[in-house]
Amino acid sequence: MANKKVLSALVRNHPGVLQRVAGLFYRRGYNIETISACATENPKFTRMTIVVVTSDELEMSQVIRQMSKIQDIRRIAILDEEKAIYSESMMVKFRCESDRRTEFLNLAYRNHMNVLYIGDSTVTVTLTGSPDDLDEVLGKFGEYPIVEMTRSGMSAIEASDRPFVEMDDAEFIN
């Protein structure tokens, strides 16, 4: 049975780090469901959120050990569902003819979607929320065919008052 975990990693913000992390997963045969990376409040660092699918806890431990060997990684944590906040963004272009536009827009607004573009036969919307919430909202639009869709991949942050890592480690920041 597959085991899905959300990893959060703080890494140096410079070229090649994402490639090294993704390469480790490729070489070891680990499955990445989603990976997202962006600069943090400190421009020297990037936060990566990686959703990993492994076969068991032993394999997950191996993933963490292998990632810890990458010099550019400052901290890695498995984010527990009860102690983390998950979010993802999606943009969806739905087929929607003009005679059903009002009905569609009412449904979109009731589901907290932002309308980005209204074309002759499509409407493009965006929505942010947990991956499960996004899937649930998509289910409500079953009678409107999806023309195109893109999802950002999950971002996650610990639900606590303390920072992920203190930024006073001079030997790492140099």
pLDDT for position 41:
87
Alpha-carbon distance of 140 to 125, in angstroms, equals: 14
CATH top-level class of 3-78: alpha beta
* Paired strand residues for 38: 47
pLDDT for position 142:
93
pLDDT for position 61:
86
pLDDT for position 56:
80
* Paired strand residues for 88: 129
pLDDT for position 166:
57
pLDDT for position 170:
44
Blockwise average pLDDT, block size 10, the chain, 174 residues: 82 90 88 89 91 84 89 89 88 96 97 97 96 94 96 87 63 44
Please name the residue that has the structure tokens 């971002």. Answer: 155
Within the chain, which residue ranges are assigned CATH 3.30.70.1150?
85-155
Within the chain, which residue ranges are assigned CATH 3.30.70.260?
3-78
Question: Which candidate, 50, 39, 49, 41, places its Cα nearest to that of 14?
Answer: 39
pLDDT for position 171:
43
Question: Which candidate, 89, 67, 84, 82, places its Cα nearest to that of 156?
Answer: 84
Amino acid type, 88: E
CATH of 85-155, one of 3.30.70.1150, 3.60.15.10, 3.40.50.1000, 3.40.50.360: 3.30.70.1150
End-to-end Cα spacing for the chain: 43
Alpha-carbon distance of 21 to 76, in angstroms, equals: 12
pLDDT for position 57:
82
